[in-house]
Amino acid sequence: IKTIGVLTSGGDAPGMNAAIRAVVRRGLSSGLNVKGIYKGYNGLLNEEIVDMTARDVSDTIERGGTILYTARCAEFRTPEGQQRGAEICKKHGIDGLVVIGGDGSFAGAQKLANLGINTIGVPGTIDLDIACTEYTIGFDTAVNTAMEAIDKVRDTSTSHERCSIIEVMGRNAGYLAMWCGIANGAEDVLIPEKYDYDEQKLINNIIASRKAGKKHHIIVNAEGIGHSEAMARRIEAATGIETRATILGHMQRGGNPTCKDRVYASMMGALAVDLLVAGKSCRVVGYRHGEFMDFDINEALAMQKDVSPYMWEVCNSLSHNYNKK
């Protein structure tokens, strides 16, 4: 293997730059040429491909977003698009490719691997929704950003004796919501994986906690459940307690990565290069039980992920809930 490429695909996540930097510098120090591919598979198909030097990734480890930009690409879902992608890699001498993204991006990488391009996936998503790994690049930064924002909403919620519904990201996964639920001491946490949502129970809990003298009521709602604004209107109508919804949105995807995201992303980027150097392909990097490791992409994509029942149970038992689920 002589030349490798690196791209970021799907949603951006803080720490992606640390992974790109690690791929570039580990690649160069392993004697490889490294090419950066802009805008995910879109940029590959448009041949937005540049040579990367060690200097090109200077001053990037501390920055959020991705210096290579990211995109979604419908054409790459087709066999023709994948074939063209493989041919473009070959034309540019790219015999190994590191794809930083989520499950969708790995599915694309798997197709390229079948077409003779050695590919390695690196999990980059704030949602933590990749089954083979306990860590994904960006989750730590995003959960800290959401936690700090919820602390701020809580202050004003207490002053006004309000009920606050705060919607955090996570797509169909509830990890951000559950972690914030624990970290922010929320009164109620709603996540799609444990969807036993009973609005009357929620309303009874709000009324009971207000009677017990609580000044605020924080409900962390996962994006996968959504409808926070309508929920707030219904709760206010049923309880008579002023209720506001705050949807944190894309702010959770930005910002300087935490130390953990910088270090873990660097380790994963370096491991991806080491796997290519060792002649591996169709692998995805993961982190489990304190170790960085790799899995077959096909097996990784077939794995199912669920929130830890124990963590969920603890999350609920620590909230001062008057009518425990």
Residues that bind ligand ATP (CB under 6 A): 9-11, 41, 72-73, 76-77, 101-105, 107-108, 111, 125, 127
For residue 68, give the 3-state DSSP assignment: coil
Q: How far is the CB of 104 from ligand ATP (least distance, A)?
A: 2
Is 127 one of the annotated active-site residues of the chain? yes
What is the DSSP pairing of strand 291-296 with strand 283-288? antiparallel
Q: Which residue lies nearer to ligand ATP by CB, 9 or 221?
A: 9
Catalytic residue among 127, 129, 140, 261: 127
Which sign, positive or negative, has the C-alpha torsion 174, 175, 180, 183?
positive
Q: Are 191 and 224 in contact (CB under 8 A)?
A: yes
Q: How far is the CB of 284 from ligand ATP (least distance, A)?
A: 11
CA proximity to 221, closest of 243, 246, 256: 246
Q: Which residue lies nearer to ligand ATP by CB, 138 or 181?
A: 138
Q: How far is the CB of 210 from ligand ATP (least distance, A)?
A: 38
10 half-sphere exposure, CB direction, 13 A CA radius = 25
Q: Which residue lies nearer to ligand ATP by CB, 69 or 197?
A: 69
Beta bridge partners of 168: 222
Q: How far is the CB of 75 from ligand ATP (least distance, A)?
A: 7
Q: How far is the CB of 73 from ligand ATP (least distance, A)?
A: 3
Tokens linked to 83: 């074939």
Chain position whose Cβ is nearest to ligand ATP = 104
Q: Which residue lies nearer to ligand ATP by CB, 136 or 209?
A: 136
Distance of alpha carbon 122 from alpha carbon 294, whole angstroms: 10
Phi and psi, residue 228, nearest 5°: -65, -40
Q: Which residue lies nearer to ligand ATP by CB, 105 or 246?
A: 105
186 half-sphere exposure, CB direction, 13 A CA radius = 33
Phi and psi, residue 27, nearest 5°: -60, -50
Tokens linked to 277: 């150097």
DSSP per residue, 83-95 = HHHHHHHHHTT--
Which positions are catalytic?
127
